[in-house]
Amino acid sequence: EALAEKIKGKEFRVYDVKAADKATPPPMLYDLTELQRDANKQYQMSAKDTLSVMQRLYENHKVLTYPRTDSRYLTADILPTIKERLRACSIGPYKLLAGRLINQPLPAKPSFVNDKKVSDHHAIIPTEQFVQLDHMTIDERRIYDLVVRRFLAVLYPACEYEQTAVEATAAGEHFYASGNHMVKMGWRAVYEGMNSSDEEEEE
């Protein structure tokens, strides 16, 4: 209040403006640990419950790949199956998001493909099995949603924004303000209206 009173009616002079183009790449695909972490954060599910739900989605529904993996990458031989996997999950809330990708070429050198970083099993992604969401429990839907959105996100381009910082003075006091202006949503379109990930929160 004292500071507000001090600068009241005084000249406010901006002496520095910096604008920079920034880009945030998509988050990486899920391994089991990362999926358990997000399921706990968003839905308060225990690691054991998440694994149990994943097992059902893998064994019974056959809509997600093997859950017990410590890799967040795919091998090159999975690339030719990506479009089929997109078609399989192109339903309900994912129809538009997946539809945009089906008719586009895959990235020339995808950052999520690295044979050397896959030991026994690749990252968790959707299978080519068509999905029936109404056959799933609430928890199954939640885990499936996390995996599908992350799978879609890695196929979208980086999010681009302009970061602006302003410095100013008034009555001998210094002020600083900064803000971001979205230029291209990129992968964040997959999570629009949702709280997607730690990367987003940290930023």
Evaluate the CA torsion angle 156, 25, 72, 54 in order and state its sign: negative
66 is catalytic: yes
Q: What is the dihedral of CA 73, 74, 75, 81, to 10 degrees?
A: -170
Contact between residue 79 and residue 110 where contact means Cβ atoms under 8 Å apart: yes
Closest CA to 28 of 202, 201, 198: 198
List helix spans (H) across 47-105.
47-59, 82-88, 95-102
Residue among 43, 66, 144, 161 flagged as catalytic: 66
**Number of C-beta neighbours around residue 80 at 10 A:** 9
- Count of helix runs (H) and strand runs (E) in the chain: 7, 3
CA–CA distance, 127 with 62 (Å, rounded to integer): 7
Region at 171 (left for phi over 0; alpha for psi -120 to 50; beta for the rest): left
> Which of the residues are catalytic?
66
